[in-house]
Amino acid sequence: MTTVAAHPVLGRSLDLHPQVALRPEPFGALAYHYDTRRLVFLKHPDVVRVVRELGNHDTVADTLTACDIAPVRHDAFASAISSLLDSEMLRDRTG
Partner 1 sequence: MTALVEQLKGGLDAPICLTWELTYACNLECVHCLSSSGRRDPRELTTDEAKAVLDELHALQVFYINIGGGEPMIRRDFFELVEYSIGRGIGVKFSTNGAFIDAAKAKRLTDLDYLDIQISLDGTDAVTNDAVRGDGSYATAIRAMEHLRDAGFVERNGPFKISVVVTRHNVDQLDEFKALADSFGAQLRITRLRPSGRGADAWHDLHPTNAQQRQIYEWLLAHGEQVLTGDSFFHLNALGEENLPGLNLCGAGRVVCLIDPIGDVYACPFVIHDEFKAGNVRDAGGFARIWKQSELFTELRQPQSAGACASCGSYDACQGGCMAAKFFTGLPLDGPDPECVGGEGELALAGVASGAAPRPMADHSKPPRPVAVSLGRR
Contacting residues toward partner 1, per CB under 8 A = 21, 23-27, 30, 32, 34, 37, 39, 41, 43
Q: Is 92 exposed, middle or buried (0-12, 13-18, 19+ CB in 10 A)?
A: exposed
Separation of alpha carbons 9 and 81, rounded Å = 8
Tell me whether residue 38 or residue 93 sits nearer to partner 1 (CB atom): 38
The answer to whether 75 and 61 are in contact (CB under 8 A) is no
**Residue 20 Cβ vs partner 1, minimum distance, rounded to whole Å:** 10
**Residue 19 Cβ vs partner 1, minimum distance, rounded to whole Å:** 9
**Residue 32 Cβ vs partner 1, minimum distance, rounded to whole Å:** 4
